[in-house]
Chain A
């Protein structure tokens, strides 16, 4: 290799990434070697010096960083607890008499739902005995339908 190394090759030699030819040329060529040395000086100038952080500063930084994770965990836990409590409250809420589909109001779909259950022969809770005659039957379906159309 007769020609001098270009800038990229010089930097490769400095960084230890050069090819064997480039390395051999840099060792033999005083001009290129000098350029590599200048590159090393420049790189050393540009590389930020290592700063020794005092242990108490390091401890404070870690102390500040840690609660952030804790806050995320706390928020996630609070959200889960909130969702659980909402679900529990909804499951346990008192159902209005006749609100078969638990929609929060009594309407014709409740009458329909009860009629379907009666038709399928399902075991029905005494809760649906709206007319209080001791059994759940078509009369209770009619009672729900009547309540759903009542003018208040």
Chain B
């Protein structure tokens, strides 16, 4: 009887677990009319719900990040450009690959951003699952 209950409980736990899946999240920064020359953000997620497994950039120069952050729940991403022609408005700045095993809440936080010349900026940061907009 007890064994039967344990089997049922185990089955219930298995049924509740989310399947492990790999997703990509696009990180956007919207600096309005101001061109974005440098940005640095922190992305945090409950490592029990998701793990950061990779980072890539939209252009030739991928964002800077600490490889030690991979397989964890916290990463700092940053990049800059001295290109005289910089985009403004909402721009894709990075793509983060994750291994989700639950229903994670992602909390991107702007650490610092600057316009050409170094003037302080406060762009809005948002995440979109790759394939969305």
Hey, which bits of chain A sit against chain B, CB under 8 A? 101, 107-109, 111-113, 115-116, 119, 142, 145-146, 148-151
Contacts and interface: CB of A to CB of B under 8 A. Distances in A.
18 contacts: A107-B40, A108-B79, A108-B80, A109-B112, A109-B114, A111-B64, A112-B80, A113-B118, A115-B80, A145-B64, A145-B78, A145-B80, A149-B64, A149-B65, A150-B68, A150-B76, A151-B74, A151-B76
Which A-B residue pairs are the 4 nearest by beta carbons?
Answer: A108-B78, A112-B80, A112-B38, A108-B40
Given A111-B38, A116-B82, A119-B82, A149 B76 contact: yes
Nearest to A107: B112
* Main DSSP-derived SS at the A contact region: helix
Contacts of A151: 66, 68-69, 72, 74-76
Contacts of B80: 108-109, 111-112, 115, 145
Interface of B: 37-40, 64-66, 68-69, 72, 74-80, 82, 111-112, 114, 118
A105 to B, nearest CB: 9
Given A101-B118, A151-B76, A115 B40 contact: no
A101 B76 CA distance: 20
Contact of A109 (B64, B69, B118): B118
B82 A115 contact: yes
A120 to B, nearest CB: 9
B101 to A, nearest CB: 21
Contacts, number: 64
B76 to A, nearest CB: 4
A146 B62 CA distance: 12
Contacts of A111: 38, 64, 78, 80
A110 to B, nearest CB: 9
A148 B111 CA distance: 10
A150 B67 CA distance: 9
Given A108-B38, A108-B39, A109-B112, A148 B82 contact: no
A138 to B, nearest CB: 11
A142 B65 CA distance: 11
A148 B42 CA distance: 11
B118 to A, nearest CB: 6
Contacts of A116: 82, 118
Contacts of B74: 151
A151 B65 CA distance: 9
Contact of B111 (A107, A119, A142, A146): A107
Contacts of A119: 82
Contacts of A115: 80, 82
B76 A148 contact: yes
